[in-house]
Amino acid sequence: GALLALSKPPGLPVQGRPGELSLVALLPALRRRLGLPAELHVVKAPARECSGLVLLSGCRRATEQLQRFFTDARRRGQYPATYCAVTVGVPAEAEGEIRAGLCWQQQGDTAAVVLVPAPGRHSLARKEVKSTLTRYRVLGTAGGCALLQLQPRTAFPEQLLVHLTLLLCPALGDHEHSSRVGRVLGVPFLLPPEAAPTRTQVLDEELLCRLGLSLQQLRRLPLHLHLQQLELP
């Protein structure tokens, strides 16, 4: 009764900048449209660039209880969020784990999430670097692409996108991290961040044709990372 679930399109932020269309800005109109008596609150939602499940609540107590559950779940060995991604490339193994140290790094005027190959004990203890883990499973493949199920066992911004580049299979529509994966004679390899500036994702002609996209349209290709499932207590 207190809960409402909907599917968010990619590119819609949860809390936008002033004057920007956002999920929070739409909540009063949604409440009126559905004739709900109480104000709606966001319990859980995917990041701006992702699509997928948004969980809303019309009861502040239920909101607080569920947010505590999501915060504490990993400590209890529960992993309530499951994502799906379409990747450019197929992982070498059908299922497995991706482990990596991640941190924020200032690059010019912006901060970016970067890989730390061998994080030291002290940097982890000081929380300068976060040790991250994602489980993945290949659900299907076609035309050099794969459909992956992803279960993050830790929480860090852009974790799933960075982990997919470590598999050498960036998410389709990832215009932020996909430049880290280079190719020589069709064989993918990982580039260091300083050699891979952010750019529109590069796709081969065959895949562009299958998607029905021109090079000019490619930069508008949305990210194919979708919050598919949330398990509730």
> How do residues 45-94 score in pLDDT, each as one tens digit?
999 999 999 999 999 999 999 999 998 988 888 899 999 999 999 999 99
- What the block records as the tokens of 15 is 């809390």
Domain termination residue (choose one: 40, 59, 78): 78
Q: In terms of domains, do 119 and 211 share one?
A: yes
Q: In terms of domains, do 106 and 220 share one?
A: yes
CA distance 157 to 161: 9
**Which pLDDT score, from 0 to 100, does residue 88 have?**
96
Q: In terms of domains, do 46 and 138 share one?
A: no
CA distance 50 to 136: 17
Q: In terms of domains, do 39 and 95 share one?
A: no
Q: In terms of domains, do 166 and 140 share one?
A: yes
Residue ranges of E strands in 117-202? 130-142, 145-152, 181-184, 187-190
- Total of domains in the chain: 2
pTM to 2 decimal places: 0.90
Q: In terms of domains, do 206 and 122 share one?
A: yes
Domain termination residue (choose one: 25, 52, 78): 78
Q: In terms of domains, do 110 and 141 share one?
A: yes
Band (111; pLDDT cuts 50, 70, 90): confident
CB atoms within 10 A of CB 214: 8
Expressed as residue numbers, the domain containing 207 is: 82-230
Q: In terms of domains, do 74 and 42 share one?
A: yes
- What the block records as the tokens of 118 is 């061998």
CA distance 144 to 74: 34
| Minimum mean pLDDT range among 28-37, 40-49, 170-179, 196-205 | 196-205
Domain termination residue (choose one: 57, 78, 99): 78
Q: In terms of domains, do 104 and 199 share one?
A: yes
**Which pLDDT score, from 0 to 100, does residue 66 have?**
94
CA distance 158 to 85: 13
